[in-house]
Amino acid sequence: MARRRTFAASGWLLAAVLPALVLAASAKPTPSPTGAVASPAPAAAAGAEVLHLQIDGVINPATVSYISEGLAEAQARNAVALLIELDTPGGLLESTKLIVKDLLGAPRPVLVYVGPSGAGAASAGVFVTMAGNIAAMAPGTTIGAAHPVSGGGEDVEGDMGEKLENFVVALSRSIAEQRGRNVEWAEKAVRKSVSITEREAVKLKVVDFVADSVADVLVQASGRTVQVGGKPVTLALAGATIAPFDMRIGQKVLNFLAHPNIAYLLMMAGLLGLYVEFTNPGVIFPGVAGAIALILALAALQLLPVNWAGLALIVLGVAMLIAEVFLPTFGVVGVGGMVAFVLGSLLLFDTPDAAIRVDRGLIFGAAATLGSFALVIGWLVVRTQRQPSSVGAEGMVGEVGEVRRVDANGRLKVFVHGEYWEAVSDDALAIGEAVEVVAVDGLRVRVRRHGR
């Protein structure tokens, strides 16, 4: 009887526990994107702050200064990380090397986020992205095309091109190795200019993950371990305060001026303004505006890799176009000036990055404008030269005056051109009659009755 009761109790216990055991057995752990069991992202400590920088445009010395100051600010404010939101067509190789050096040796974890959607990390942007401790991309973004080219956008030929390509390949491989990214793809991005989408980048282990926003980057990065200063650091960023860190006014101005199209337009405006002032002294405004534009252009050229032969050709071309106005060369000097101007514009910037070059449409537009300007000035000069003189002795001929005095000897005093003149005439004239000047002889004029 006792045994029967024991069996009954065991049956009831088994009936109660069995469904729970079945449910537990059927439930499977949810793997994370890396294959590990998902766990809640480590939350940041109270008051934790992530410094947020935004780079939208060409990478240049202003960008280097901005990132360097951002790293220093993150250290000073004890921020848990620095996040760079990146959208760039490329930039200067020298500036890129300095940025990579700063990111690889940063005292705080650095996260690079290619975003927002539609953004890209091309050319120099590839190296900056891979240099981050964490690299992420927004949906609809791209990365790649890091092959070095000349300032005009063409491949660098010969031994120099091979040396440059090998150097950039070594740089990309070094960054990929240090950050544990795809070394083979990093080399292909340089040698073959390959570009990939954000999904392909994650699959090829070029970046770590795809994130919808900056906040999502912090959540997905939390729990990952990265090397900072040679020591492993486990990130706890979820929920941290995102603190914007903007460029200073001076950096924004330099960043604006360092665009090759802006520098080129300022230089053209400066040359034209000064030319107008020199040919028309006293106008003032074109001279002042031209001088300011030219100084700003010179400041921009200090930030860019200028080919001085190209700059000399531009100055020579402008000088020849101006000379064409005053020299009877029948267009030879003018055509030579246009050729020199266009060639100089194409050669103006010497850099292995297609992002640092003047837009060709802008070059041809500026050449057409400058040529048209020279033609108009030349036409005005010719027309002025053909007009009768309005000053000096020649300007007196044809002027109409009035007889003011006639003496007994027939000598006349006439008032013409705002002045009194001694006059002679073959006509018998009376006081008050209108006379016309026909010649000037020293301080005496020869007149005749007006309307004769």
Residues 11-39 pLDDT 10s = 433 344 434 433 333 343 434 333 333 45
* 332 compared with 227, residue with greater pLDDT: 227
In this structure, are 205 and 269 located in the same domain?
Answer: no
Q: Which residues contact 257 (CB under 8 A, 6 or more apart)?
A: 263, 266, 296, 299, 300, 303
Task: Classify residue 36: in a domain, yes or no.
Answer: no
CA angle, 181 then 187 then 188, to 5°? 110
Task: Classify residue 34: in a domain, yes or no.
Answer: no
In this structure, are 379 and 396 located in the same domain?
Answer: no
Expressed as residue numbers, the domain containing 437 is 392-449
* 183 compared with 390, residue with greater pLDDT: 183
Q: What is the mean pLDDT of residues 79-93?
A: 94
**Residue 232 pLDDT more than 90?**
yes
Task: Classify residue 351: in a domain, yes or no.
Answer: yes
Element (H, E) at 178: helix 158-179
In this structure, are 232 and 275 located in the same domain?
Answer: no
Task: Classify residue 10: in a domain, yes or no.
Answer: no
- Most confident range, picked from 24-28, 269-273, 376-380, 448-452: 269-273
What CATH code is carried by the domain that includes residue 186? 3.90.226.10
Collapsing DSSP to helix, strand or coil, 211 comes out as: coil
In DSSP notation, 65-108 reads HHHHHHHHHHHHTT-SEEEEEEEBS-B-HHHHHHHHHHHHT-SS
The residue from 248, 270, 286 where one domain ends is 248
In this structure, are 403 and 374 located in the same domain?
Answer: no
10 Å CB burial of residue 337 (0-12, 13-18, 19+) is: buried
Q: What is the pLDDT of residue 18?
A: 38
The whole-angstrom separation of Cα 257 and Cα 275 is 23
Q: What is the mean pLDDT of the chain?
A: 82
Closest CA to 348 of 451, 248, 267: 267
Show the tokens assigned to 307: 């080919």
Q: What is the mean pLDDT of residues 236-253?
A: 94
Closest CA to 115 of 33, 201, 177, 41: 201
The whole-angstrom separation of Cα 123 and Cα 142 is 11
In this structure, are 185 and 325 located in the same domain?
Answer: no
Q: What is the mean pLDDT of residues 259-272?
A: 86
Q: Which residues contact 339 (CB under 8 A, 6 or more apart)?
A: 317
**Residue 75 pLDDT more than 70?**
yes
In this structure, are 307 and 206 located in the same domain?
Answer: no
Show the tokens assigned to 219: 């959540």
In this structure, are 234 and 88 located in the same domain?
Answer: yes
Which amino acid does the sequence have at 109?
P
**Residue 325: pLDDT band with limits 50, 70, 90:** low
* 217 compared with 437, residue with greater pLDDT: 217
Give me the phi and psi of 83, to 5 degrees please.
-115, 125
Task: Classify residue 17: in a domain, yes or no.
Answer: no
In this structure, are 313 and 402 located in the same domain?
Answer: no
CA distances in angstroms from 203 to 28, 209, 361, 374, 378, listed in the order given: 25, 9, 39, 58, 64
How many residues in total does the chain contain? 452
CA angle, 449 then 397 then 451, to 5°? 25
**Residue 347 pLDDT more than 50?**
yes
The residue from 203, 225, 248 where one domain ends is 248
- Most confident range, picked from 169-173, 257-261, 382-386: 169-173
Q: Do you find a cis peptide bond into 281, omega within 30 degrees of 0?
A: no
In this structure, are 239 and 271 located in the same domain?
Answer: no
**Residue 281: pLDDT band with limits 50, 70, 90:** confident
Q: What is the pLDDT of residues 101-111, one digit of tens each?
A: 999 999 999 99
- Most confident range, picked from 17-26, 49-58, 259-268: 49-58
Show the tokens assigned to 74: 């993150």
The residue from 219, 248, 277 where one domain ends is 248
What CATH code is carried by the domain that includes residue 429? 2.40.50.140
Closest CA to 59 of 6, 112, 133: 112
* 252 compared with 394, residue with greater pLDDT: 252
In this structure, are 375 and 401 located in the same domain?
Answer: no
Give me the phi and psi of 31, to 5 degrees please.
-75, 150
**Residue 382 pLDDT more than 70?**
no
Task: Classify residue 40: in a domain, yes or no.
Answer: no
Lowest-confidence pick of 264-268, 377-381, 420-424: 377-381
Task: Classify residue 24: in a domain, yes or no.
Answer: no
In this structure, are 175 and 296 located in the same domain?
Answer: no
Q: What is the mean pLDDT of residues 165-191?
A: 94
pTM: 0.67
In this structure, are 93 and 177 located in the same domain?
Answer: yes
Task: Classify residue 120: in a domain, yes or no.
Answer: yes
- Number of alpha carbons in the 13 Å side-chain half-sphere of residue 99: 31
**Residue 395: pLDDT band with limits 50, 70, 90:** low
Percentage of residues in the chain having pLDDT higher than 70? 80
* 374 compared with 62, residue with greater pLDDT: 62
The domain tally of the chain equals 3
